[in-house]
């Protein structure tokens, strides 16, 4: 447990990080209604000290939103999904084993919803990043896995997008039920994710064949 003396002696970047995490807690409780004084009280410092790191409330809110958007994001997720020397099911399971613990927190879910309700562009920005770095990669790998033309050859179909979102949304909704609706959910989500991955891999070739009849390459 940190004492008052140890808090005073924190390096500047660590102190800012401590304040920002406390601010995210407050934001997940109260949204844009949070105040700098509430943050100061939460971390037991003076308001002028908070202003040293976040000169205005707008600066503080901007930092919170940036933390929700990108604080957990790992660029290597997309890279790992594209490693074709491993089975696609294994790569998908690895992705969700890393991604879900990064967002399965009340602060992230409630903070995200408060931010999105205030500005729909916030959610759109996040989903654009998910689409370009994750969803498109999964679509590309599904096509490669079943021998269909790449996205460069045949553009992404809306139905492909929705098929992948159906898999992804199951995991997201479990978190929503747990952290926002506060209803009972399964404790171990890994088997559920495996079920969704298996279902997607079972369905994908049928969907791709309907979208691109006769386009499948011959083996070899």
User: 145-175: per-residue pLDDT in tens?
Assistant: 999 999 999 999 999 999 999 999 999 999 9
Q: How far apart are CA 175 and CA 187, in angstroms?
A: 11
The answer regarding whether domain 4-67 maps to CATH 3.30.230.10 reads no
Sign of CA dihedral 128, 134, 137, 139: negative
Give me the mean pLDDT over the 29-36 stretch: 95
Q: How far apart are CA 87 and CA 74, in angstroms?
A: 21
Domain chopping of the chain, boundaries = 4-67, 72-211
Q: How far apart are CA 143 and CA 164, in angstroms?
A: 12
In the predicted structure, residue 56 carries a pLDDT above the cut 70:
yes
Q: How far apart are CA 143 and CA 152, in angstroms?
A: 11
Q: How far apart are CA 3 and CA 92, in angstroms?
A: 43
* CB-based contact 60:23 (threshold 8 Å): yes
User: 79-129: per-residue pLDDT in tens?
Assistant: 999 999 999 999 999 999 999 999 999 999 999 999 999 999 999 999 999
Higher pLDDT, 215 or 91: 91
Cα angle 100-105-106, degrees, rounded to a multiple of 5? 145
Distances (CA, A) of 36 to 6, 39, 110, 125, 139: 22, 5, 19, 26, 44
Average pLDDT, the chain: 94
Structure tokens of 151?
């996205």
In the predicted structure, residue 219 carries a pLDDT above the cut 60:
no
Rounded percentage of the chain residues whose pLDDT exceeds 90: 91
Q: How far apart are CA 7 and CA 28, in angstroms?
A: 24
Give me the mean pLDDT over the 120-145 stretch: 97
In the predicted structure, residue 4 carries a pLDDT above the cut 50:
no
Q: Which of 71, 69, 73, 60 is nearest to 31 (CA)?
A: 60
How confident is the model at residue 216, as a pLDDT?
80
How confident is the model at residue 62, as a pLDDT?
97
User: 164-203: per-residue pLDDT in tens?
Assistant: 999 999 999 999 999 999 999 999 999 999 999 999 999 9
In three-state secondary structure terms, 71 is: coil
How confident is the model at residue 69, as a pLDDT?
96
* CB-based contact 142:55 (threshold 8 Å): no
Q: How far apart are CA 209 and CA 45, in angstroms?
A: 62
Rounded percentage of the chain residues whose pLDDT exceeds 70: 94
């Amino acid at each position: 447990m940190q004492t008052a003396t140890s808090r005073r002696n924190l390096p500047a970047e660590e102190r800012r990080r401590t304040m920002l995490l406390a601010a995210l807690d407050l934001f997940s409780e109260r949204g844009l209604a949070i105040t700098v004084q509430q943050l100061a009280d939460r971390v037991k410092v003076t308001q002028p000290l908070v202003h040293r790191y976040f000169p205005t409330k707008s600066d503080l809110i901007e930092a919170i939103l940036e933390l929700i958007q990108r604080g957990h994001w790992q660029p290597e997720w997309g890279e790992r999904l594209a490693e074709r020397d491993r089975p696609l099911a294994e790569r998908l399971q690895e992705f969700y084993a890393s991604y879900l613990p990064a967002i399965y927190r009340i602060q992230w879910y409630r903070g995200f919803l408060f931010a999105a309700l205030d500005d729909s562009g916030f959610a759109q920005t996040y989903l654009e990043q998910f689409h370009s770095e994750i969803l498109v990669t999964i679509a590309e790998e599904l096509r490669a896995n079943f021998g269909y033309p790449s996205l460069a050859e045949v553009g992404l179909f809306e139905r492909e997008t929705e098929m992948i979102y159906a898999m992804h949304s199951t995991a997201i909704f479990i978190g929503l039920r747990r952290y926002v609706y506060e209803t009972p959910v399964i404790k171990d989500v890994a088997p559920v994710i495996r079920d969704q991955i298996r279902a997607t891999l079972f369905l994908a070739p049928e969907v791709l064949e309907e979208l691109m009849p006769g386009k499948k390459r011959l083996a070899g």
